[in-house]
Structure 1
Amino acid sequence: MRAFVTVGSTKFDALIQKVFSQEVLEALQKQGYTEVIVQCGNSSFEEQRGAADGEHPVIVQRGGLVVEYWKFKPTLEEEYERADLVISHAGSGTILDVLRMGKPLIVVPNPTLLHNHQQELADVLAEQNYIKSSSVDDLSTTIEEFGGSTLLNRFPRFDGTRFAKILDETMGFA
């Protein structure tokens, strides 16, 4: 099984450092994961040396897991498709992409960003049971509790007509 970790275009040192920690790698292994793919962006972490683009990933063994990491790729769609679990910062674009694919998602908001806006989004989606939300400190526990047996709600398909109806009503066309 494959877990994919992404911070998108941001720098989220705490999340990437935690993903490389023994406790998180052990939690993933206990849940049956054999591969961990990490899109680390510009984050600073001990293993960052050698991290390049997705065409030239660094691949290491960590306690029975194959860990591959790199900074950026033009698109992450293939990584989302191949993942059995996605662990992500709480960027709205990333969340929507992953939820529309129907992939299990653990979201870790970055509290250092403007007004902690990622936490608000994560809280709402977790309350509606579309995602699991975690802090950096609780990530290993969240992974263990999530365990694949947790059923999340299926995110609704995109319906562009809903926005058009709201706009028509607002403008007085309906």
Structure 2
Amino acid sequence: MKTVFVTVGTTSFDELIESITSPETVQALTARGYERLVLQVGRGSLVPAADSCPHVTLEAYRFKDSIAEDIEQADLVISHAGSCLESLGAGKSLLVVVNDKLMNNHQLEMARQLHMDSHLLYCTCSTLSETLRAMDLSVLQPFFARTAQELCTFPR
């Protein structure tokens, strides 16, 4: 079963959970052949019910000791920028959803740099369904681990 894993890490990003479970986004996922959606919702206030997304099998939870198994089983990982390195290290196709409501948004800088290196795709919640419909995962290149200092130093 073709699976999408969505993670917000230990934070709260309700807008992403709302966006990924919207009818428009679920339709974009099913059009690409995804049948299972696993959500790690973190500290957010939303935990969607299993029957809230027609045409996909939905599982949602707050936290696990490790999300490595969910990442490994996923065909596509959708993550906020702070949770992206584990997915990249596992060699998974990754779509980063930047929280554009944050001030001094370092997430956007990191996503742009990794996108320019063809390691991931990125969008915001408002462009998520459009990005899913148009994305070409075949352009993504494997990620080779860098030092934390390299990842945190962005060209200005």
- Paired AA for residue 142 in structure 1: T
Match of 2:87 in 1: 98
CA distance in 2, matches of 1:109, 1:89: 6
SS in 1 for 2:104: helix
Gaps of 5+ in 1: 50-57, 164-174
Gaps of 5+ in 2: 150-156
SS in 1 for 2:51: strand
CA distance in 2, matches of 1:5, 1:159: 24
Match of 1:37 in 2: 38
- Number of equivalent positions: 147
Q: Does 1:155 align with 2:155?
A: no
CA distance in 1, matches of 2:45, 2:28: 22
Q: Percent identity?
A: 36
- Paired AA for residue 34 in structure 1: E
Please give the residue correspondences for 1:1-174 in structure 2 after superposition, counting only pairs within 5 Å.
1-45=2-46, 48=47, 59-60=50-51, 62-91=53-82, 94-146=83-135, 148=137, 150-156=138-144, 158=145
CA distance in 2, matches of 1:137, 1:113: 15
Q: Kindly state the Cα deviation for residue 112 of structure 1 after the two structures are TM-superposed.
A: 3.2
CA distance in 1, matches of 2:52, 2:106: 35
- Paired AA for residue 80 in structure 2: H
- Computing the radius of gyration over CA atoms, which structure comes out larger, 1 or 2? 1
Q: For residues 68-125 of structure 1, what are the alpha-carbon distances to aligned partners after superposition, in whole Å with 9 as ceiling and x for unaligned?
A: 101111111000000000000010xx21111111100000111233511111100111
Q: CA RMSD in A?
A: 1.9
After TM superposition, the structure 1 stretch with the greater mean CA deviation from structure 2, 104-113 or 69-78, is 104-113
SS in 2 for 1:62: coil
State TM-score, norm by structure 2.
Answer: 0.86
